[in-house]
Amino acid sequence: MSSELAQGTARFRAEREADWLRLEKIVDRVERRSVRALSDDDLFALPLLYRATLSSLSVARATSLDRALLDYLEALSLRAYFIVYGTRTDLLRRIGQFFATDWPAAVRGLWRETLASLALLVSGMLAGYLLVASDPSWFAAIMGPDEAVVRGPTASTAALQRILVHTGNQDGLSVFASFLFTHNAQVSLLAFALGFAFGVPTALLIAMNGCIAGALMQVYVAHGIGGQLGGWLAIHGTTELFSMVLAGAAGFHIGRRVAFPGESSRLAAAAEAGRTAATVMVGVVVMLSVAALLEGFGRQLITDSFARYAIGGFALLVWLLFFYIPREARRG
Amino acid sequence: MAEQVAASRYVAREASLRRRLLTPEGLDLGVVLADAGQRASAFMIDAVFIILALIALTLFVIFGLFGVVGVSRSTNGLSALAIIWLIGWFVLRNGYFIGFELRGRAATPGKRISGLRVIARDGGRLTADAVIARNLMREIEVFLPLSFLSARAAEGSADRWLNLLGFAWAAVFLFFPLFNKDRLRVGDLLAGTWVIRARPQTLAADLGATSDGAPPAYRFTDAQLDIYGEFELQTLERVLRENHQEALDTVTAAIVQRIGWAEPVADPRAFLAAFYRAQRPQLERRMLFGRRKADKTVR
């Protein structure tokens, strides 16, 4: 009786082994290259072999104690499962979909957090402005002592103005732009990630950035060249500050959903919030690279205040239209 | 006794890392989560790759462009190098993990070497936003603690305590995987992902198959074959496959004593193989009749 049974399991394996090995070969090739590397025959055979292997696994689990065989079938089924059910659209299509629907939809979904983030930034600006207005020594505290020497309250009007219209040599500009881009992008990624600590550090980061802008503005307004500074900031600032607001909003969204998951479980709420916020963050990096181009090239080439305001205002309008114009929801 | 405790602890640990993954066909594939050690070693390997790539990038910028291509020492050439380095480092830092995990294998080189991959917790497709979310959170899991550490080294004692507090706070994110049963990083939690073991296996020979029709050299009685259960059988299978002489001798001695084998055993490997071949059909028959014997403590 025992030997009959042994023959049974041996036959079970002998009858199916060829299918498993063929599936393994196909899976190997797909993992190493892509589904496109398969011949038509293999492509059609893949789902059939996958199901055959699943059924082998289920029979083996009920009848065999050969651990090596069970492990092999489990690992093979799992690898094939991800190929059969993990189909993904091609990259270009995905990028198109990101710009056409995913990104604006994610931004629209975060409108409450966006308003909160904006309010924080604006109150940070006000605080910075009022603090420096009441006591100029605040400037050094907010911006750091080195900055205070260059463009602090004690600097001359002429020196301050020179920073705004300085065109410099054309070569240093793009380095400056790429440095600013990587720096700003890293800071906003940090603002997003810190949202996980219930959004508190994110709020501090946003308010602090507002504070810096406010303090700078006060110095220039006090010297009577606030309008020029406005143009200097506006050309790229509308885009940059907007992306900062959105990064803060993404952080707050995570913090809010982790703290108050509502109907769903905390884990599910966190996962959902994380994915929406991540989509926004990819967009934030895109916006920051646009801002860096405006800052590094646009600002240095265009020194007229009016033109700077016009470009900044136009950029803001484009972003607002892009994000908030209602559009038909994508089906499927 | 100690062996038994260690063995049961091993079994319990493996079972605690097993999760359901139901395919649309209705079969539970039973994925096994990667433990904290595997995750850490995979990350270390990736970190080494990233550092090597950074060094390569820097050398490329310094020598490759400077010397070979012959970029002149003008500010023009220098700024081009600076831009390449800045953008390159940014892309490397943020793109390495995302880029590799978006590919079919859903694993960075470090994970691939450690035999791991990323999957969606609900068993569905691993989407791009999930991969991006789980990797952007590295900002607070890796770079934030690092920045506190480096700041502490650079500055004086005035800020030391502040930095220490900062590091302790950042360490909460760093050691997050150790404090939940799914070994989730903060990033996994926010992306809805798991990291599982997915090492490709090769099909090993069946130890239960008799090579020829010759009668077995060792014959066991039903009473002797009733002593051990499935756990012991599969442990024996592992010992046979690994084929270390010392382990073979130890296990042979244990079995000889336990089943009361009177005759001398000349070749431990042949003895154990015969015992395995006799034992497995016995247990598989019990299995078919629905009377499974998980281990030797089950009657």
Q: pLDDT tens, B222-249?
A: 888 888 888 888 888 988 888 888 988 8
The verdict on A163 and A273 lying in the same domain is: yes
Residue A82 contacts residue B106 (beta carbons within 8 Å): yes
Torsion, Cα A191 A192 A196 A197, to 10 degrees, reads 10
Q: Answer yes or no: do B206 and A69 touch at CB < 8 A.
A: yes
Q: Tell me the chain A residues in contact with residue B86 when contact means C-beta distances shorter than 8 Å.
A: 175, 178-179, 182
- Give CA B191 to chain center in angstroms: 20
Q: Answer yes or no: do A194 and B140 touch at CB < 8 A.
A: yes
- Exposure pattern of B210-225 as b/e (b: 16+ CB <10 Å)? beeeeeeebebeeebb
Percentage of chain B beyond pLDDT 70 is 86
CB contact set of B84 (below 8 Å; sequence gap of 6+):
B61, B65
**Residues A104, A279: Cα–Cα separation, whole Å:** 9
**Of A314, A313, A320, A246, which is closest to residue A285 (Cα–Cα)?**
A246
B115: closest chain A residue by CA: A75
pLDDT (tens digit per residue) in B153-200: 555 555 677 777 778 888 888 888 888 888 898 899 989 999 999 888
The verdict on A119 and A82 lying in the same domain is: no
Split at pLDDT 50, 70, 90, the class of B75 is: low
pLDDT (tens digit per residue) in A260-303: 988 888 888 988 999 999 999 999 989 988 888 888 777 777 77
Q: Which comes out higher in pLDDT, residue A326 or B234?
A: B234
Q: Answer yes or no: do A10 and B209 touch at CB < 8 A.
A: yes
Cβ of residue A85 closer than 8 Å to a chain B Cβ: yes
The verdict on A129 and A260 lying in the same domain is: yes
Q: Tell me how many helices (H) and strands (E) chain A has.
A: 15, 0
Q: Tell me the chain B residues in contact with residue A88 when contact means C-beta distances shorter than 8 Å.
A: 125
pLDDT (tens digit per residue) in A289-298: 888 888 877 7
Q: Tell me the chain A residues in contact with residue B144 when contact means C-beta distances shorter than 8 Å.
A: 190, 193-194
pLDDT (tens digit per residue) in A81-130: 988 887 666 678 888 888 888 899 999 999 999 999 999 999 999 999 99
The verdict on A76 and A150 lying in the same domain is: no
Write phi, then psi, for B206 (nearest 5 degrees).
-80, 115
| Domain around A129 | 94-331
**Residues A320, A75: Cα–Cα separation, whole Å:** 49
- Is the Cα torsion angle B251, B257, B262, B264 positive or negative in sign? positive
Split at pLDDT 50, 70, 90, the class of A246 is: very high
User: Quick check: B16 pLDDT over 70?
Assistant: yes
Query: Which 3 state secondary structure label does DSSP give A89?
Result: coil
The verdict on A174 and A202 lying in the same domain is: yes
Instruction: State the CB neighbour count (10 A cutoff) for residue A327.
Output: 11
pLDDT for the residue numbered B104: 79
The verdict on A62 and A132 lying in the same domain is: no
Place of tokens 């319990």: B12
Cβ of residue A174 closer than 8 Å to a chain B Cβ: yes
Q: Which amino acid is at A274?
A: G
DSSP state of A101: I
DSSP state of A295: I
**Of B220, B168, B197, B278, which is closest to residue B14 (Cα–Cα)?**
B197
Q: Give the start-to-end residue ranges of the domains of chain B.
A: 16-197, 201-299
Q: Tell me the chain B residues in contact with residue A75 when contact means C-beta distances shorter than 8 Å.
A: 198-201
Query: Which 3 state secondary structure label does DSSP give B194?
Result: strand
pLDDT for the residue numbered A121: 93
The verdict on A66 and A114 lying in the same domain is: no
User: Quick check: B214 pLDDT over 70?
Assistant: no
| Domain count of the fold of chain A | 2
Split at pLDDT 50, 70, 90, the class of A173 is: low
Residue A100 contacts residue A93 (beta carbons within 8 Å): no
> Which domain-ending residue is among A38, A57, A88?
A88
pLDDT for the residue numbered A169: 46
User: Quick check: B298 pLDDT over 90?
Assistant: no
A219 in the Ramachandran plot: left (φ > 0), alpha (ψ -120 to 50) or beta?
alpha
User: Quick check: B201 pLDDT over 50?
Assistant: yes
Q: Tell me the chain B residues in contact with residue A169 when contact means C-beta distances shorter than 8 Å.
A: 75
DSSP state of B157: G
ipTM over 0.85: no
Q: Give the mutation candidate from B76, B146, B176, B203 for the A interface (greatest A CB count, under 10 A).
A: B203
**Residues B276, B224: Cα–Cα separation, whole Å:** 12
**Residues B137, A250: Cα–Cα separation, whole Å:** 12
Say if strands B193-197 and B18-19 run parallel, antiparallel, or are unpaired. Answer: unpaired
